[in-house]
Amino acid sequence: MLAADRGPFDALSVEGVLELLPSLSTFPPTTSKRSRSKRAERSRGTARILVWLLSFPGDGWQERWIVSGADSSLDWIDVVTAGYGCVEASRRSVTTDGLGCLLLARAVRPSYEFLQCYRTSGLYRHAKQEFGADLFSRLRQAGMARGTIPSHLSTAENSLVKVAFRTGRDLADLTSDDLIAYHDWNKEALGKAPMGLHAAWDLLRDIGVLDEKLSLRRTLARGQLPTTQLVDRYGIQRGPVRDVFVRYLDERRPSLDYSSVSGLASQLVGAFWADIEKHHPGISSLHLAPEIAEAWKQRVKVINRPGKAPVPREQWASVLTTVRAFYLDIAEWALEDPSWAAWAVPSPVRRSDTGGFTKVKKKARAKMHQRVRERLPRLPELVDTTEQHHAHQKRLLAAAETTPIGATFDLDGRDYRRIDRKDDQLRKRFHYRPTIVLAQDIATEEQLDLTRSEDEAFWAWAVIETLRHTGVRLEELLELTHLALVSYELPDTSEIVPLLQIVPSKSNEERLLLVSPELASVLATVISRLRGDNNGVVPFVARYDPHELVTGPHFHTCSSAASAGDATSSPPTWSISCSTTP
């Protein structure tokens, strides 16, 4: 056991641990006969557990706690309780009170598995006083300032209490790594993120305990994998061939973006070599016999998934081209670097095998163009529908906001009833959302989250309008900020025209687009909405790129006095995608 896993009082005797109990702020005082009796019961219960732990081998209380099995089960409480007193409920109460004192005094540090099973509101209430009462009070104030409802705030506090119990630290000493470790355990053991941890992370940032710019969700966002993990996720056997794939991808990686490297590994290792090993176990050479190569080239045209019917692989020609390039690259590199010579073998993919690659690419491009031709005539219909839908959701939200809880209102011939949070059947949607307006369609009894519906309708309208007025790609759209709005003075007329700067993307070229009055109206509406939702300022953003698996740079918040036409003011930054805000 590592020294870091032990508590500060791990080496104390039974008497030494009992002497710690009066120092607990929640330990009963000696002011009355009742409190003195309760004080004696808790000391007696703590002594029972310590004496029982002494019957197990170990160097210190923490090691005995683990060896005894107390950290993974609660059955031992009945074993310790047996033989004391005559009333079972009273005996167990004394033992559990002693256990609470033992944990609050940090003589042992329970695992998250134990805390998941041992649920007692009294222990958590006392822990909030022992592990930083002032900070927990500030935490509650920060939660109320955010508009967090009491039940969600209590869940966030309890998650922090668990981390404090496990780490042996007060609330002021918790770190981001401590919270991430709790998140990782919960994901591995229970398959989901712990309830309240995201809100707890934000509240700790609000009171200054955590000096983190990003939310927990952005902090946990998966980053780029090293080449070895890109290869090993396909389960090929370790050996010289696997090392060749790792070395080859490392050679190619500096000249490719991450998504291209990941795709290259998928085709070379996943679609090619993993399939070869599956049908020919133990193979250890890139030099494939003709019959092995021909059989693989037939299999690669079909995708087989467990439990699903085989489907044709549309990009089978691309896989063949990638494999052929792999063999030809090694042969070329062997001319300059002899260490590649042992792997310079004939390619199993001939030039004639890739002859259909160009045809497949043209077919895919033609399919995309045809899809555009089919949908373009319906663009005006999409624009009108989106605008009408947003207008309807906006009016519905406004009508509900002016209606008391439980009262009914009418909109466009339909009757709705305003409902409270406690009446909703989908409680899970309330996590970390302080403001929400709910209504129920009386005719269908469908419960509606009007706040979210209006928000989604607005951003759908903003995205569609921006795309149709600019023609930018989706990736370029998500990278737009207020800093992309620039002005240009025409040299002949001195007229100032607004321009939209598009950062380099797929074409690797920077562009400047003239902002039309319609587009300017859309962008102004987006900025006004962001300012209205954030006390007159546009919050900073840090976009997470789901393809490159990296978080972009932060943009600083500016005051609402800044304007795009004021050269002395820094324009606030904004992002069309509301999901990019940390």
Domains of the chain: 3-210 (no CATH), 227-355 (no CATH), 379-454 (2.30.30), 471-580 (no CATH)
Is the Cβ–Cβ distance between 319 and 300 less than 8 Å? yes
Least confident piece of the model among 105-109, 392-396, 423-427, 465-469: 423-427
Nearest to 490 by CA among 518, 469, 516, 514: 514
| Residue 2 confidence (pLDDT) above 60 | no
Pick the more confident residue, 85 or 57.
Answer: 57
Is the pLDDT confidence value at 333 over 90?
yes
Confidence of residue 507 (pLDDT cuts 50, 70, 90): low
According to DSSP, the residues that pair with 448 across neighbouring strands are 439
Confidence of residue 309 (pLDDT cuts 50, 70, 90): confident
Mean pLDDT of 195-200: 90
CA dist., res. 450 & res. 472, Å (int): 31
**Would the pLDDT of 431 be above 70?**
no
Mean pLDDT across the chain, nearest whole number? 86
Per-residue pLDDT tens over the stretch 437-493: 999 999 998 999 999 999 999 999 999 999 999 989 888 888 888 788 888 888 888
Average pLDDT of the segment spanning 297-323:
88
Name, in order, each residue with C-beta under 8 angstroms of 300's C-beta and a sequence gap of 6 or more.
271, 272, 275, 313, 316, 319, 320
Go through the chain and tell me how many residues it has. Answer: 582
Q: What pTM was computed for the model?
A: 0.69
The CA distance from 91 to 99, in Å, is 13
pLDDT band for position 313 (50/70/90)?
confident
User: Greater confidence, 371 or 421?
Assistant: 371
- pLDDT tops 50 at residue 229: yes
Look at residue 575 in the predicted model and tell me its pLDDT. 44
Does residue 561 surpass a pLDDT of 70?
no
Q: What is the pLDDT of residue 576?
A: 42
Residue 564 has pLDDT above 50, yes or no: no
What is the DSSP secondary structure assignment for residue 561, as one 8-state letter? T
Q: What is the pLDDT of residues 79-94, one digit of tens each?
A: 888 866 555 557 788 8
Sequence-ordered list of residues with C-beta below 8 angstroms from that of 558, at least 6 positions apart, any chain:
537, 538, 569, 570, 571, 572, 573
Q: Quick one: tokens of 86?
A: 């005559």
Q: Which two tokens stand for residue 345?
A: 């073998």
Q: Which two tokens stand for residue 432?
A: 């970390």
> 3-state DSSP call for residue 302?
strand
Distance from chain centroid for Cα 442: 36
Mean pLDDT is highest, among 4-13, 50-59, 68-77, 382-391, for 382-391
Whole-angstrom distance, CA of residue 389 vs CA of residue 397: 12
